Amino acid sequence: MGSEVGSRCGIGEAIPATVEAWALAYLRSTDLGHKLAPPAPPRAWEDAPPVRRMIRPGRPAELRPANRARRNPKPAGLHEPRLRARLLATLHHHELQAAELFLWALLAFPDTPRRFRQGLVAMAMEELVHARLYRERLEAQGAQLRDFEVRDWFWERVPTCPDATAYVALVGLGLEGGNLEHAARYARAFEVGGDPETAAVCRRVADDEERHVRFAARWFRRFTGRLDFASWRAALPPPLTPSVLASLPLAREARSRSGQDQAFLDELEAWCRARPGS
């Protein structure tokens, strides 16, 4: 097994020697700078890594936890800088959690193929690009991350995944798939609200998420031998359902490019219409 720590840089600062140690240090970090821009991962991997299932990540002081759920601002209100900033703080936190949970899966499912885990690292780094872009747009509204409370909704659910199949069903096909609708809707709302720069960020996020959903679709097929609506729904950890992970109107073209065929999309749409919010 590779060493958890390599050489030292500066006074008392250890450089992780393996990808797994790097991911563990990242998840434990409470430094916002490290959270948003960690050093590049090392090239070495542990020979026989153990299962490591973290329950919660380290949280920087700038990210204040919310005591209760709060609705996002309605699209019609995004002409107001304060409401734009509040939504951007939420979107930033979604991207940060996505990055963290890609690395969580790397540690939780060490028996998966190396190529799968390498893909998780690459996507985590892309999610952090998204988070930094949203933070820049939030600060352009005259606000800071510490001005708003955030909720670890993804962390409350994803660690319940028993295996990598459930993980790609929930995170890749579910949460990332749902973001194909959300990012496109927010892009339109920011455009109408007079913020084309943030709209452009949302469109970039949507483009990258297509690739992430395609990654999940490919590995779901690899893990199960198929990708249809019934098999995806069965793989979701309860009590989550398709209606929580998609919104109408579906981003059908983006989802189709991401590996979900028309039969899958027809059943997903029918489910959401028949069981809205459940």
Q: Is the dihedral of CA 112, 115, 118, 120 positive or negative?
A: negative
d(CA 151, CA 59) in angstroms, rounded, equals: 11
pLDDT of residue 15: 72
pLDDT of residue 242: 96
pLDDT of residue 5: 36
Which residue has tokens 């329950």? 55
Structural domains in the chain, sorted by start: 80-274 (1.20.1260.10)
| Token pair listed for 26 | 């990242």
pLDDT of residue 277: 64
- CB 192 within 8 Å of CB 240: no
pLDDT of residue 106: 98
- CB 145 within 8 Å of CB 92: yes
SS (H, E, C) the chain: CCCCEEEECCCCCEEECCHHHHHHHHHHCCCHHHHHCCCCCCCCCCCCCCCCCCCCCCCCCCCEECCCCCCCCCHHHCCCHHHHHHHHHHHHHHHHHHHHHHHHHHHHCCCCCHHHHHHHHHHHHHHHHHHHHHHHHHHHCCCCHHHCEECCCCCCCHHHCCCHHHHHHHHHHHHHHHHHHHHHHHHHHHHHCCCHHHHHHHHHHHHHHHHHHHHHHHHHHHHHCCCCHHHHHHHCCCCCCHHHCCCCCCCHHHHHHCCCCHHHHHHHHHHHHHCCCC
d(CA 5, CA 98) in angstroms, rounded, equals: 25
- CB 220 within 8 Å of CB 173: yes
- Averages of pLDDT over runs of 10 residues in the chain (278 residues) are 37 75 97 97 96 96 86 76 93 98 98 98 98 97 95 96 98 97 93 94 96 98 98 96 95 97 98 83
Which residues partner with 109 through β-bridges?
A: none
pLDDT of residue 1: 36
d(CA 80, CA 60) in angstroms, rounded, equals: 28
